[in-house]
Amino acid sequence: MAGSNEVNANECRMVVPLNTWVLISNFKLAYNMLRRPDGTFDRHLAEFLDRKVPANAAPVNGVASFDILIDRTNNLLARIYRPAPPNPSPATTPLADLHRSPSPDPFPVIIFFHGGSFAHSSPNTAIYDSLCRRFVSLCGAVVISVDYRRSPEYRYPCAYDDGWAALKWASTEPWLHGGKDAKLRVFLAGDSSGGNIAHHVAVRAAESGIEVSGNILLNPMFGGNHRTESEKRLDGKYFVTIQDRDWYWKAYLPEGADRDHPACNPFGPNGVNLEELPFTKSLVIVAGLDLVQDWQLAYADGLKNAGKDVKLIYREQATIGFYLLPNTDHFYDVMEEIKNFVTSNL
């Protein structure tokens, strides 16, 4: 219906800056071309279109990055971002400097899971490279961006397994243990599907006795079988449709599973009870124009009901991807919140 499409377009245009609109619309259209109705995914075209940047051991704006192989058997790569090594002398090797703690004082290690609805993007995708660099500058953190296996080629629980592998790896790296008590102060963070991964890895950590200092969930991807009010109200209005959400869940969840699978709906009918687990504290950021917000709010409620510490940030006029470009109040306010959350839980 041409009329309602126009209405959608108009509303959408009103709430985001022009360059943000161009960026996210471009993703939307490109992604539409990649998802096939039969559930397969045009991975080659996806990789071709994805804008990537190489790692750079030479500091840029005070941040250096390098790629690391965490698990040879799975080719599990991660990109590590860190504050520029202090006082590098001309004859020192990049490799040695990069593997030194950034500070003798406690510092946060943020294990970051990029978004992309489990199917898109990589750590070297430009938008995520930027975001991770931002986190380093913001918090003085070492950020580990995990190249987790994506769907539909790799379904649940591969992404969680890879996240878990990254956490375990971090816990064995001496240079990531900061402060006089040589402790790993690790935060799990992610946007969209990355937020979902952060939650599930945090559950595994709680079950296994690895202490996580905090979870940061940016527009996390959750869902369920029934259609919530926000989904119906916002379907197709701000870059995202119920149809594409359904496609991505179908591509990620096991064959035959529905959206009440605990991976998708952790506090739904098949959810795990967290009450007895030492599950970490969470910062959950919800965009008021994100159609899955009812699921995200339900998630925050679920944590509260299980007696877990959760701070909810609700940005009324924010759309998905507001954190990708530093051109709105949403961006700066939320970055400030993240910084406060990290520094106060160090």
Q: Which of positions 1-60 make contact with other proteins (CB under 8 A)?
A: 2, 5, 9-10, 13-19, 21-23, 25-26, 28-30, 32-34, 36-37, 42-45, 47-49, 51-58, 60
**Residue 15's closest CA among 297, 243, 288?**
288
Question: What is the distance between the terminal CA atoms of the chain, rounded to a whole angstrom?
Answer: 52
Least separation in angstroms between CB 86 and other proteins: 17
Q: Rule CB under 8 A: choose which of 105, 316, 332, 344 binds other proteins.
A: 332
Q: 192, 213, 230, 282: which one is catalytic?
A: 192
Q: 122-181: which residues touch other proteins (CB under 8 A)?
A: 124-127, 130, 133-134, 137-138, 147, 169, 172-174
Catalytic residue flag (residue 171): no
Q: 277-296: which residues touch other proteins (CB under 8 A)?
A: none
- The three-state secondary structure class of 116 is coil
CA–CA separation, 66 and 80 (whole Å): 5
Least separation in angstroms between CB 274 and other proteins: 31
CA–CA separation, 90 and 96 (whole Å): 13
Q: Rule CB under 8 A: choose which of 39, 69, 227, 344 binds other proteins.
A: 69
Say if strands 214-218 and 282-287 run parallel, antiparallel, or are unpaired: parallel
Query: What residue has token string 């030194």?
Result: 100
Q: Rule CB under 8 A: choose which of 81, 83, 98, 106 binds other proteins.
A: 98
CA–CA separation, 160 and 170 (whole Å): 15
Is residue 337 a contact residue for other proteins (CB under 8 A)?
Answer: no
Instruction: Give burial (CB, 10 Å; 0-12/13-18/19+) of 66.
Output: middle
Select from 120-128, 182-190, 205-213, 215-223 the region that touches other proteins (CB under 8 A): 120-128
Report the catalytic residues: 192
